[in-house]
Amino acid sequence: MAQSADNPVVRVRGLVNRFGSQVVHDGLDLEIRENEIFGIVGGSGAGKSVLLRTLLGLRQPDAGSVEVYGHDLRHMSQAEHIALVRSYGVTFQNGALISSLTVAQNIQLPLREYFSLTEQSLAALAELGLSMVGLPADTAGKYPAQLSGGMVKRAALARALALEPKLLFLDEPTSGLDPISAAAFDELMLYLHSQLRLTVVMITHDLDTLFRTCSRVGVIVDGRMITDSLEGMLKNQQPWIHEYFHGPRARAAQHG
Amino acid sequence: MKLSLEGEGDDWRLLLNGDWSLAATASVQQELQALPKTLHGSLTCDWTRAEATGIGPVWILLNSLGAAAGGHLQVRHVDPPHTLQLLQRLQADRHALCAPPPEPSSSEIEEAVGNLGRWVVLQGTEGRAAIGFLGRISTVVRETFSRPRALRPSSLARHIYETGVTAIPIVSLIAFLISVIVAYLGAQQLSRFGADIFVVDLVTIAVLREMGVLLTAVIVAGRSGSAFAAEIGVMQLNEETDALRAMGMNPIELLVLPRILALVIALPLLTIIADAMGLAGGGLLSLVNLHIPLPQFTARLRESLSPTTFWAGLIKAPVFALLIGMVGTYRGMQVRESARELGRLTTIAVVQSIFLVIFADALFAVLFVQIDF
């Protein structure tokens, strides 16, 4: 896209997040371009989830600006904020499916909230959601507690896609999955990314997922973000990054 | 209009206009239903004038074209949205799967009998589970007394504090107010006969035998019965109880017993406080409203008390405590799977423990009359 270079989807400038005296982000900058899969990595406690919550507008940053599609999250009316929230999809680490609703009802939840649709359309859209993420049709009537971990992740993705977002945030999409399910999820993500022309922001610790799917990677080190292509990261000599991309597990993932 | 159909015979053109985003799904569906059902031959979908095409409406269009024509229609797309390929693939996959079997239909009577049967079986299994729970508690109690460390004094103290000490203000206030109300209404009636002084008897007997313990038990059922069910229920949802079992610890011993025991200790003490506050309320109202001075009130109080009056109330407290504690913890242990279950079972815990308390109180009343206690 022509506009992608000078008009990033997400632009973060000088972000500061503190918890008491503990500084999590200290002047973090980040740009996410249209139609890329951007991976966010960092050590435990480096502030990946805090960053995600800030990007989603669930947390007010202590300083700095967050712009999504050119709109500053701080100067936004309630109505604008709701419109923005509707334009992106999110999956949470544990799925966060509503446990008292069936999978189909979970997918239909945002649709029911924002559009007046007939039951017939809702059923068709739930079916579409399920088949997009590769879940069998009989999953529709099941409750989240009856699903395996991998199916929960897929159902959560179907719910995140229900409002047809252009921007997708995924928090640890493959954590807790066996390698086969995780690999299948990677392929699904790549396929949907290419077919639906999504911009994907993904927090992940899964090196295989990182190497397979991400076009650019951002590493949070000491409260700041270092962004580079995957090849660039592999050559980076910063100690933590080097350790991360050249540790025993990383080598296995690269050559595997 | 989102759709307009042109052509005749075997050659049709479907023009797709305007906004085709997800928001237009409802109108797209409506217009699709108005299309003739007997199309055959070839159909060309022209997407040139469709804007902001979403996935949902296109999916519904593909579905309805597939269903309406039953395969007798050759569909071609001109200038289709980029998602069409994905949707066509998904649709092909879906048709490859066999259709779900139709729901077995049954008559209303069959259904009613079935429901009744399910209900009976459910009640049976519930009853068995409750008795099983009681049995598990009793075995744990036996073990615990042979191994006093298992009593867990710190946990016990915490629960006595939470169920007992923190309940003192509300229990006192309610006991005081209720006894004022009883004394006030009693005085209205009794003063007509010039029998004002019997208000003291009324308050004493009502508060000590019934009101003190019953009100306290109901308040505690609402406060602590729900807390027990919710605490243990969330631990169930987080698999914390499974973790305890896997470490060789017994959740009944760790979670259930301290709570029940704490309640058995705390409820009688709360009852004594409620009794005292009730008598104080009666005394105050007698002084203010009936002008019975305090010495006369206490003298009359002593006369109206039989040796058993106080104990007839207090002896019920540990029984009520057992009922509340067991129902609360039992319902908590039953929580599985979902947040809704947690809410449902917490509600049941409170309703059932209040019911059981009142039911047990009725049994006590009959028993005490029979044995002249």
Which tokens sit at A199?
Answer: 């911009």
Distance from CA of A145 to the nearest CA of B (A): 6
Q: What is the tens place of the pLDDT at every residue in B8-44? A: 777 888 888 888 888 888 888 888 888 777 777 788 8
Residues in chain A within 8 Å Cβ distance of B96? none
Reported as half-sphere exposure (CB side, CA atoms, 13 A), residue B106 has a value of: 10
- Judged by CB atoms closer than 8 Å, whether chains meet at B26 and A121 is answered as yes
Reply yes or no on whether the pLDDT at B69 is more than 60. Answer: no
Split at pLDDT 50, 70, 90, the class of B174 is: very high
- Residue B105's pLDDT is what? 67
Name the nearest CA neighbour of A190 among A202, A205, A178: A202
Of A131, A144, A145, the CB nearest to B93: A131
Please state the rounded mean pLDDT for residues B329-356: 92
Identify whether the C-beta of residue B94 lies closer than 8 Å to the C-beta of residue A127.
yes
pLDDT (0 to 100) of residue A6 = 62
3 state DSSP class of A37: strand
What is the model's pLDDT at position B102? 54
Q: What mean pLDDT is predicted for residues B112-127? A: 93
Residue of A nearest to B86 (CA): A195
Task: Give the C-alpha separation, B217 to B224, whole Å.
Answer: 10
**Domain chopping of chain B, boundaries:** 3-96, 126-370
* B85 close to A (CB below 8 A): yes
Contact B336 A136 (CB under 8 A): no
Could you report the per-residue pLDDT of B179-236, keeping only the tens digit for each?
A: 999 999 998 888 888 888 888 999 999 999 999 999 999 999 999 999 999 999 999 9
Residues from chain B that touch A125, judged by Cβ atoms under 8 A, are: 25, 56, 59-60
In this model, does residue B157 exceed pLDDT 70?
Answer: yes
pTM (two decimals): 0.73
Q: What confidence score (pLDDT) does residue A87 get?
A: 84
Q: Check if B102 contacts A (Cβ < 8 Å).
A: no
d(CA B362, CA B308): 18
Q: Is A118 on the interface with B (CB under 8 A)?
A: yes
**How far is the alpha carbon of B90 from chain A, nearest alpha carbon, in Å?**
6
Q: CB under 8 Å to A76, separation ≥6 — which residues?
A: A57, A84
By the CB < 8 Å criterion, does B8 face chain A? Answer: no
B215's tokens: 């009100």
B92 to chain A, any CB pair closer than 8 A? The answer is: no
- Are residues B339 and A115, on separate chains, in Cβ contact within 8 Å? no
Q: Could you tell me the pLDDT band of residue B71, with boundaries at 50, 70 and 90?
A: low
Task: Assess A113–B contact: CB distance below 8 Å, yes or no.
Answer: no
Record: contact B90-A116, CB cut-off 8 A: no
Name the residue facing A117 among B26, B83, B337 (closest C-beta): B26
3-state SS assignment for residue B100: coil
Is 60 exceeded by the pLDDT of residue A256?
no
CATH topology of domain B3-96: Transcription Regulator spoIIAA (3.30.750)
Q: Taking CB atoms and an 8 Å cutoff, what residues of chain B touch A189?
A: none
pLDDT reading at B128 higher than 90? yes
Taking an 8 Å cut-off on Cβ atoms, the answer to whether A128 and B90 are in contact is yes
Per-residue confidence (pLDDT) for residue B357, from 0 to 100? 96
B222: contact with A, CB 8 A cutoff:
no
Spell out which residues of chain B touch residue A168, defining contact as CB-CB under 8 Å. Answer: none
Average pLDDT over residues A129-141: 88
Identify which of B59, B63, B82 has the shortest CB distance to residue A197.
Answer: B82
**Residue A116 touches partner B, C-beta closer than 8 Å:** yes
- Asked whether A161 and A132 are in contact (CB, 8 A), the reply is yes
Q: Could you give the CA distance from residue A208 to residue A229 in angstroms, rounded to a whole number?
A: 16
pLDDT tens string B277-330: 999 999 999 999 888 899 999 999 888 888 888 899 999 999 999 999 999 999
Angle at B187 between CA B182 and CA B188, to 5 degrees: 105
For the ranges A161-165, B96-100, B101-105, the one whose mean pLDDT is highest:
A161-165
Angle between helices A119-132 and B84-96 (to 10 degrees): 90
Q: What is the pLDDT of residue A1?
A: 38
Chain B residue numbers with beta carbons less than 8 Å from the beta carbon of A100 are: 338-340
Residue B270 exposed, middle or buried by CB count within 10 Å (0-12, 13-18, 19+): buried
Pairing status of strand B11-16 against strand B41-46: parallel
| A99 chain-B contacts, CB cut-off 8 A | 337-340
pLDDT band at A4 (very low <50, low <70, confident <90, very high): very low
CB contact under 8 A, B85 and A124: no
Strands (E), chain B: 3-8, 11-16, 18-19, 41-46, 50-51, 73-78
Choice among A27-31, B34-38, B81-85 with the minimum mean pLDDT: B34-38
Residues of A in contact with B26 (CB under 8 A): 115-118, 121
Token pair in block for residue A231? 């090849």
Buried b (16+ CB within 10 A) or exposed e, B119-131: eeeeeeeeeeeee
Contact B22 A144 (CB under 8 A): no
State the Cα–Cα distance between residues B263 and B259, nearest whole angstrom.
6
**Backbone torsions φ then ψ of B159, nearest 5 degrees:** -70, -35
% of chain B residues with pLDDT over 90: 47
Contact B256, B236 (CB under 8 A): no
Residue B242: both structure tokens together: 């499974």
Measured between CB atoms, does A197 come within 8 Å of chain B? yes
B68 at the A interface (CB within 8 A)?
no
Q: Do B97 and A137 touch (CB under 8 A)?
A: yes
Higher pLDDT, B157 or A206: B157
Chain A residues within an 8 Å CB radius of B337: 99, 143, 145
Pairwise CB contact (< 8 Å): B90 & A131: yes
Q: Tell me the residue length of chain B.
A: 373
From A221's Cα to the closest Cα of chain B, the distance in A is 32
Res B99 pLDDT > 60: no
In the numeric block, the tokens 């009577």 are attached to: B109
A125 touches chain B (CB under 8 A): yes
Q: How many Cβ contacts (< 8 angstroms) between chains A and B?
A: 70
Query: Are A194 and A206 in contact, with CB atoms under 8 Å apart?
Result: no
Q: Is A115 on the interface with B (CB under 8 A)?
A: yes
Residues in chain B closer than 8 A to A115 (CB atoms): 22-23, 25-26
Residues of chain A with pLDDT > 90: what percent? 17
CB contact under 8 Å between A100 and B85, yes or no, is no
> Min CA distance, B72 vs chain A (Å)?
22
Q: What was the pLDDT predicted at B356?
A: 95
pLDDT reading at A64 higher than 60: yes
3-state secondary structure A88-141: EEEEECCECCCCCCCHHHHHHHHHHHHCCCCHHHHHHHHHHHHHHCCCCHHHCC
CB A143 to CB B338 under 8 A? yes
Cβ atoms of A25 and A50 within 8 Å: the answer is yes
